[in-house]
Amino acid sequence: MSEKMNSMEQLNETICACTKAMDDKFSGADGKRHIVLCGGTGCLSNNSKAIKERFEEKLAKKGLSDQVTVNIVGCFGFCSQGPFVKIYPEDTLYRLVKLEDVDEIIHTDIMNHSVVYRLLYEDTATGEKVTKQEDINFYKKQRRVALHSCGEINPEDMNEALGAGAFQGLKRALSMTSQEVIDEVLASGIRGRGGAGFPSGRKWQFARNVESDEKYVVCNGDEGDPGAFMDRSILEGNPLAVIEGMMIAGYAIGASEGYFYVRAEYPIAVNRLRNAIKQAREAGLLGKNILGTDFSFDCHLRLGAGAFVCGEETALLNSIEGKRGMPRPRPPFPAVKGLWEKPTIINNVETLACIPFILREGAEEFAKVGTEKSKGTKVFALGGKVNNVGLVEVPMGTTLRELIYDIGGGIPGNKKFKAIQTGGPSGGCLTEKYLDEPIDFDNLVAKGSMMGSGGAIVMDEDNCMVDVAKFYMEFICDESCGKCSPCRIGTKRMLEILTRITEGRGTMKDLDELEELAKTVKTNSLCALGQTAANPVTSTLKHFRDEYIAHIVEKKCPAHVCKNLMEYTIHKHKCVGCGLCAKGCPVGAIHKTDYIPEGHKLPSYAIDKSKCIKCGACISTCRMRAISKQ
């Protein structure tokens, strides 16, 4: 951005120029080819940056640098198929690209305008090669609102963001009164995407109605759910959209300052956000009298140390203030008495990323999508036992079956679906009978789970649901701030019971105690961390009680996961005596026997169960599948 924009007219001129540049890039009207690579954390950790540098190096050697550009963009979403390379204007998408593929792409595609077919995505149903992203099943049922322009624009280039619609929502907001902006947000029906699902417009209205010399807007980017990466990807792919959403919120409630609270474990998101704030200030879009109006607003960045409890809004406020991250009693609520005891609204990254769309396209357009009480779209981090792992944004009302099978591509190895955990440690497990249930805030709660921030972990027949409950309870115990006794002590006792059960020391009385503790912790904990801590336990007890009983009564783990309740066996009639299992055993628990199976020349092996640590190394090395766990 070369010049500071001091008026709406200057912004309009800049937007028009940037929009034309982006249109020319996508259509080929600029006469160039454009190579873009996925710059999400997953692809960057898989050599995406090195691939970009290799492209630049090879193109320079061939004298093509003036004809071909190379850029990093945000997350494409389809993480299990990355790194991605897309070429404009043809819109050709290559997946699983490696460093050694660069020369072939340049020679075949860039220089000779032919497609490198082996790098195209192959449809799992038809076996056909798919050239364009929009034709891949993973993307067909998605609708990008919060993820607008992620995977299309360079997140470190403000011009590209402006060309993709940035600040047009703010421009419209500044032509309205603050109450009209809040009315627009209320009309859209948007509810907070951070987990609770509270109507965003109502929260803004509360803060606007409070008289105060100072007010604040806080963006909650402390994404701590295991397996969740929605907010991180938005900040990495289009940080200016979140800044714009914060500014619109600030204008609506009468705030002049905003704070981004992002965990320090997100260095790429932090750096791109910091760069976006700097560019917005230099362009005059942050600071005093923005675009020649009376509206002044600036934002700041605070890094979290990774405490899960700081995702709770009052603990987050304490952390920003330099205090220990522990929740505050409510009321008073932050909208009345928040940051430094001033009225404060706290929205998460995804919520703020949707706000520019609502102001740019109108509340009615946003509300067209979704269900009666849950409008718009929702971003999910789809992971676990599913073929298409990645980041997806779907309309509210999409069913779990569509999410797992149509978008997620089903379960690897055609194994049986067992459950999906939504909402992270605060959510619950939903079984096969709920696959056709529409996804929305209220429906998931009614079924014993919750939307949460958007984590969706799929489990198959090989998952032990008692072990799953134990995993989440371990996480909660580690992350509890310890301020209130029900959460601090109650979750610890629940973990002890779950540990006893998975080790074969449980009793039927333990199940009654688990349920009683769950009620106590939920009813008496101070904040949402404790109030929802028991959800994984209560949902697995409800839907998979037979597994708990098997662990207690039969002393067996049906899924063969809990180490104390299983043993490894070498089936001597299948063993060919190669000895690979013995070589791979870290504790020397496998020995040769005197038995030679019929038709074989070498004696078989056996496992000394008193030495076996049940690590599974023997199974992974056996080529004959002669070893099983029972």
Which helix (H) or strand (E) is 459 found in, with range?
Answer: strand 455-460
Position 2 pLDDT exceeds 60: no
DSSP state of 503: T
Position 57 pLDDT exceeds 60: yes
Q: Report, as an integer, the average pLDDT of 1-21.
A: 87
Backbone angles phi, psi at 619, to 5 degrees: -65, -40
Residue holding tokens 């205090």? Answer: 323
Rama region for 477: left / alpha / beta (φ>0; ψ in -120 to 50; rest):
alpha
What was the pLDDT predicted at 544? 94
Amino acid at 297: F
DSSP state of 405: I
DSSP β-bridge partners for residue 36: 71, 86
Instruction: Supply the Cα-derived Rg of the chain in whole angstroms.
Output: 27
Backbone angles phi, psi at 56, to 5 degrees: -60, -45
pLDDT 10s digits, 393-427: 999 999 999 999 999 999 999 899 999 998 888 88
Position 5 pLDDT exceeds 90: no
Q: Which residue has the higher pLDDT, 42 or 630?
A: 42
Q: Report, as an integer, the average pLDDT of 478-505.
A: 94
**HSE (side-chain half, CA atoms, 13 Å) at 112:** 9
What was the pLDDT predicted at 1? 53
Task: Report the alpha-carbon distance of residue 178 to residue 181 in Å, rounded.
Answer: 5
What was the pLDDT predicted at 4? 85
**How many other C-beta atoms can be found within 10 angstroms of the C-beta atom of residue 305?**
11
Rama region for 212: left / alpha / beta (φ>0; ψ in -120 to 50; rest):
beta
pLDDT 10s digits, 498-539: 999 999 999 999 999 999 999 999 999 999 889 988 999 999
Task: Report the alpha-carbon distance of residue 253 to residue 173 in Å, rounded.
Answer: 12
pLDDT 10s digits, 327-380: 998 899 999 999 999 999 999 999 999 999 999 999 999 999 999 999 999 999
Instruction: Print burial letters for 235-271: b (CB count within 10 Å at least 16), e (below 16).
Output: bbbbbbbbbbbbbbbbbbbbbebbbbbbbebbebbbe
Task: Report the alpha-carbon distance of residue 159 to residue 276 in Å, rounded.
Answer: 11
% pLDDT > 90, the chain: 86
What is the bridge-based pairing of β-strands 298-304 and 92-94?
unpaired
What was the pLDDT predicted at 192? 92
Instruction: Print burial letters for 116-151: b (CB count within 10 Å at least 16), e (below 16).
Output: beebbbeeeeeeeebbebeebbbbeebebbbbbbbb
CB-count burial class (<10 Å; 0-12, 13-18, 19+) for 584: middle
Question: Taking Cα atoms as reference points, which of 360, 292, 298, 297 lies closest to residue 4?
Answer: 292
Q: What's 568-590 look like in SS3?
A: EEECCCCCCCCCHHHHHCCCCCE
Question: Taking Cα atoms as reference points, which of 472, 456, 465 lies closest to residue 543?
Answer: 465
Question: Taking Cα atoms as reference points, which of 533, 455, 438, 523 lies closest to residue 491?
Answer: 533
Q: Report, as an integer, the average pLDDT of 283-301.
A: 95
Q: Report, as an integer, the average pLDDT of 51-76.
A: 96
pLDDT 10s digits, 223-255: 888 888 999 999 999 999 999 999 999 999 999
Task: Report the alpha-carbon distance of residue 90 to residue 134 in Å, rounded.
Answer: 13
Position 201 pLDDT exceeds 70: yes
pTM of the model: 0.93
Instruction: Supply the mean pLDDT for the chain.
Output: 94
Residue-level length of the chain: 630
Task: Say if CB 130 and CB 136 are below 8 A apart.
Answer: yes
Torsion, Cα of 411, 400, 561, 581 (10° steps): 10
Structure tokens at 191: 């509810």
- List of residues 6+ apart from 250 with CB closer than 8 A: 215, 217, 256, 257, 258, 297
Q: Report, as an integer, the average pLDDT of 587-595.
A: 92
Task: Report the alpha-carbon distance of residue 616 to residue 587 in Å, rounded.
Answer: 12
Position 583 pLDDT exceeds 70: yes
Task: Report the alpha-carbon distance of residue 538 to residue 147 in Å, rounded.
Answer: 33
What is the bridge-based pairing of β-strands 344-348 and 390-395?
unpaired
Question: How many contiguous H segments (helices) and E segments (strands) does the chain have?
Answer: 25, 19
Structure tokens at 44: 């960057």
Position 462 pLDDT exceeds 60: yes
What was the pLDDT predicted at 405? 95
Q: How confident is the model at residue 447 (pLDDT cuts 50, 70, 90)?
A: confident
* 3-state class (DSSP) for residue 220: strand
- List of residues 6+ apart from 333 with CB closer than 8 A: 206
Q: How confident is the model at residue 124 (pLDDT cuts 50, 70, 90)?
A: confident
CA end-to-end span of the chain: 64
Q: How confident is the model at residue 451 (pLDDT cuts 50, 70, 90)?
A: confident
Structure tokens at 99: 């460093």
Question: Taking Cα atoms as reference points, which of 264, 285, 266 lies closest to residue 276?
Answer: 285
List for the chain the helix, strand, coil content (%; round to 5): 45, 15, 40
What was the pLDDT predicted at 454? 82
**How many other C-beta atoms can be found within 10 angstroms of the C-beta atom of residue 620?**
11
**How many other C-beta atoms can be found within 10 angstroms of the C-beta atom of residue 590?**
23
